[in-house]
């Protein structure tokens, strides 16, 4: 659907326009965006004066009408402030891109991406498949899937001066995309880290704000996904290494992966799809987890873990191996 109303917050003569393409993807990123700000992606963007030119799942235009929009964008006849691409670019077989043909055109989607990106002010990779290749680029990679920056060239910068903006995640939090697009619309730029991820979320770790942090501090570890203890030692949690504020701004205002008893798999980082051990298991060498906090030397971690375990309160130890609170916190007696 098209939203050509007047911008609400952005002081601009015409709306900031985005065009969305879906490449090699499960569609999970779009599903995530449907929950943006409790009003959905279209209305969340509209608050910042951003209109959706076209989205393959959300727009009314289809067939010839949709192709007309894409042709105008590819030729530069219509302004595209941000080209959003969901999913990895499928370049096979043999670099032809013909594993994914845009319906009704006979042309590989990779050609359409390149053509529209050449005229777009900004190019945004939505999700880790677009940002880094993700699951389509997992070991073997029969479709020759690549990241969006790789497709466009390592030196590619959009007309606005930025490289591909990698709103990573599998799927990314809807707030990460809405805020990144809002920053582009309001300021014309977006602060990025060394991997092209918006710093608004990438400067945090999924570990920050985790509801299991007391168990982490005492190294009181869960043995099963239903246990309340820390998931790092046995169940593969990589939250101490994973960029993202997933536990600071909860999903749907309430939950996160670790809240639900599932380990963080570091889905905002390259190559997360090929872990050293199964996702729900912790890779170890000599009994020590391979994946340690990113800025802590191994010797320090081992020493801290030994000290923490020796000081673990009975309450924390008991609760770490249960699916509910067995021993509540001690209550101080009333003052006389």
Per-residue pLDDT tens over the stretch 40-50: 999 999 999 99
Give percent above pLDDT 70 in the chain.
95
Average pLDDT on 84-103 reads 97
Digit-coded pLDDT (tens) for 181-195: 999 999 999 999 999
Contacts of 22 (CB under 8 A, 6+ apart): 30, 56, 57, 85, 86, 87
In the block, residue with structure tokens 């923490």: 308
Better-scored residue on pLDDT, 302 or 53: 53
DSSP letters for 253-290: TTB-TTTTT-----TTSTTTTS-SS-TTS--EETTEES
Q: What is the pLDDT of residue 308?
A: 83
Q: Is the pLDDT of residue 327 over 50?
A: yes
Average pLDDT on 68-72 reads 97
Best CATH choice for the domain 16-201 from the list 3.40.640.10, 3.40.50.700, 3.40.1170.10, 2.60.120.260: 3.40.50.700
Top CATH class, 204-326 = few secondary structures
* Strand stretches in the chain, DSSP E: 16-22, 50-54, 82-86, 89-90, 122-126, 145-146, 165-167, 284-285, 288-289
Is there a shared CATH topology between the 16-201 domain and the 204-326 domain?
no
Q: Is the peptide bond before 333 cis (omega within 30 degrees of 0)?
A: no
Q: List the domain boundaries for the chain.
A: 16-201, 204-326
Digit-coded pLDDT (tens) for 134-172: 999 999 999 999 999 999 999 999 999 999 999 999 999
Q: What is the pLDDT of residue 13?
A: 60
In contact, 164 and 123? CB cutoff 8 Å: yes
Digit-coded pLDDT (tens) for 118-136: 999 999 999 999 999 999 9
Digit-coded pLDDT (tens) for 278-292: 998 998 877 777 777
In the block, residue with structure tokens 């309340």: 228
Whole-structure pTM value: 0.89
> Measured in Å, how far apart are the chain's first and last C-alpha atoms?
67
Among 81, 26, 75, 73, smallest CA distance to 51 is for 81
pLDDT band at 14 (very low <50, low <70, confident <90, very high): confident
- Pairing mode of beta strands 89-90, 145-146: antiparallel
The mean-pLDDT minimum among 202-206, 253-257, 264-268, 289-293 falls in: 289-293
Among 87, 88, 81, smallest CA distance to 29 is for 87
Neighbours of 60 (CB within 10 A): 9
Q: What is the pLDDT of residue 300?
A: 67
Backbone φ and ψ for 213, nearest 5 degrees, come out as -65, -30
């Amino acid at each position: 659907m098209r939203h050509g109303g007047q911008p609400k917050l952005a002081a601009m003569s015409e709306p900031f326009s985005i065009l969305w393409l879906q490449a090699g993807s499960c569609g999970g990123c779009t599903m995530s965006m449907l929950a943006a700000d409790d009003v959905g992606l279209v209305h969340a963007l509209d608050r910042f004066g951003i209109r959706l030119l076209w989205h393959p799942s959300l727009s009314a235009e289809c067939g010839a009408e949709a192709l007309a929009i894409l042709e105008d964008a590819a030729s530069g006849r219509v302004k595209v402030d941000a080209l959003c691409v969901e999913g990895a670019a499928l370049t096979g077989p043999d670099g032809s891109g013909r594993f994914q043909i845009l319906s009704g055109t006979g042309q590989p989607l990779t050609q359409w991406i390149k053509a529209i990106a050449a005229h777009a002010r900004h190019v945004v990779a939505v999700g880790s498949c677009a940002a880094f290749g993700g699951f389509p680029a997992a070991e073997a990679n029969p479709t020759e899937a690549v990241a969006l920056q790789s497709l466009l060239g390592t030196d590619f910068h959009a007309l606005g001066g930025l490289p591909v903006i990698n709103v990573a995640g599998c799927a990314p939090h809807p707030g990460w995309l809405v805020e990144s697009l809002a920053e582009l619309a309001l300021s014309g730029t977006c602060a990025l880290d060394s991997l092209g991820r918006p710093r608004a979320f990438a400067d945090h770790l999924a570990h920050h704000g985790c509801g299991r942090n007391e168990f982490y501090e005492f190294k009181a570890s869960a043995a099963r996904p239903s246990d309340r203890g820390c998931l790092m030692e046995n169940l593969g949690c990589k939250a101490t290494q994973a960029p993202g504020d997933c536990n600071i701004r909860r999903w749907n205002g309430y939950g996160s992966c670790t809240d639900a008893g599932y380990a963080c798999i570091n889905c905002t980082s390259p190559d997360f799809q090929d872990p050293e051990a199964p996702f729900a298991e912790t890779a170890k060498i000599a009994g020590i987890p391979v994946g340690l906090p990113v800025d802590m030397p191994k010797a320090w971690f081992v020493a801290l873990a030994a000290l923490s375990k020796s000081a673990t309160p009975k309450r924390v130890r008991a609760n770490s191996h249960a699916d509910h609170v067995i021993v509540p916190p001690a209550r101080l007696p009333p003052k006389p």
